[in-house]
Amino acid sequence: MCGITGIWGSTHRRDDVRGMMKLMTHRGPDAEGMFISSEGSGLLGHRRLSIMDPEGGDQPIYNEDSTRAVIANGEIYNFPRLRPELEKTHSFRTTNDSEAILHLYEDHGSLVVKHLDGMFTFAIADGPDFMVARDPIGIKSLYHGRKNGEFMFASELKALAPYCDEIEEFAPGTLYHSQEGFKTFYEVPDILPEDRPIEEFIRELRETLEASVVKRLMSDVPVGAFLSGGLDSSLICALARKHLPELHTFSVGIEGSRDLEAARIVSKYLDTIHHEYILTERELREKLPEIIYYLESFDQDLVRSAFPCFFTSTHCGGKREGHPHGRGRGRTVCGIQVLQGHNGQGVTSRRASQVGLRTAQHKPPARGPHDHGPLDRGPGAIS
């Protein structure tokens, strides 16, 4: 997870961009960089968490003659297939997957988004022109606003709030180009149920899930996995373990919790190197304000899932850098809201989300990403 930000319209507000970057240090503790347009067109800022090409992949990344630059957050899963083709006409400066975005832009302009399979937000400086985009279903967060005619953007609300009066969410599947304005390049379609043998659905589900896990294992740093012992995280760990020589798994929970016991059983079965962190009620209360600060949401389901996400990420941050997880699995079965109708005595109702079903059914042009982690060095929540 990285943080991107910028102001397009002038280069006078360098201190503001530095301030925006500082407010997102937690997203990218390893390095920072700034692009300053020589033409006075604008500024780009980047905070980096080093996953791909840790030594040589700091951003901004420039093209061969340094006339264009890119900053990005996320991962381009089809980078291993893109690079050999791009190398026929371009010279790469790094082995960072974000560089492929820049060279694709040189070849295809704003249609670069049609060639990407991944979760991403990125911005490209091209002389006086500028482009920013967000992945098809909005896995990576992005916000934008304007002040005094200047276009501003950042990965988090807190980075824009001190410097911009009006802020909006940058819509998923959308790009902005300084010459073309806003354009939608992807919308989740409504897909009618198909009458096919159940065996076909089972086979396709297994193949799609395994392919989804495997492409998320691409990393130049060690990979671990969050494990609660539930269906989602256990499936992810089982598939990841199949493709890795060893796998570190991480769990958190209150002493005696069923999740911890279930995770131990799954870990033993999969032969993972397992790590646990025991939570106390006091820690949960004390960390709630901090969790909401990073989460930037009071949504009851997000806050609930953020607790294990936060503590697991804190616990494993020094051991592993990338962490597959099971977040989003519920959308394949319509999703569940467990706190709706809370009456102060306990949870009283649940409901399925048709939006979740539609999201799960769609196939983005990039054969798309499914999970998102708003908080931490290892993006994910426990089931």
Sheet holding 224-226, edge to edge: 224-226, 248-254, 273-279
Query: Three-state DSSP class for 346?
Result: coil
Query: Three-state DSSP class for 185?
Result: coil
Examine the residue annotation and report whether 2 is marked as an active-site residue of this protein.
Answer: yes
157 contacts 298 by C-beta, under 8 angstroms: no
Q: Which of 2, 164, 237, 316 is catalytic?
A: 2
Name the residue type at position 246. E
Preceding amide of 162 cis, omega within 30: no
Whose tokens are 């740093």? That residue is: 221
CA distance 281 to 353: 31
Name the residue type at position 370. H
The H-or-E segment that residue 129 falls in is strand 129-134
**In degrees, to the nearest 5, what angle opens at C-alpha 331 toward C-alphas 80 and 217?**
25
42 contacts 86 by C-beta, under 8 angstroms: no
CA distance 116 to 133: 11
316 contacts 248 by C-beta, under 8 angstroms: yes
68 contacts 106 by C-beta, under 8 angstroms: yes
Structure tokens at 191: 């897909």
CA distance 280 to 302: 20
How many C-beta atoms lie closer than 10 Å to residue 13's C-beta?
A: 19
Residue 113: which of 195, 122, 57 has the closest Cα?
A: 122
CA distance 226 to 380: 7
Q: Strand pairing of 273-279 and 248-254?
A: parallel
Instruction: Please list the active-site residues.
Output: 2
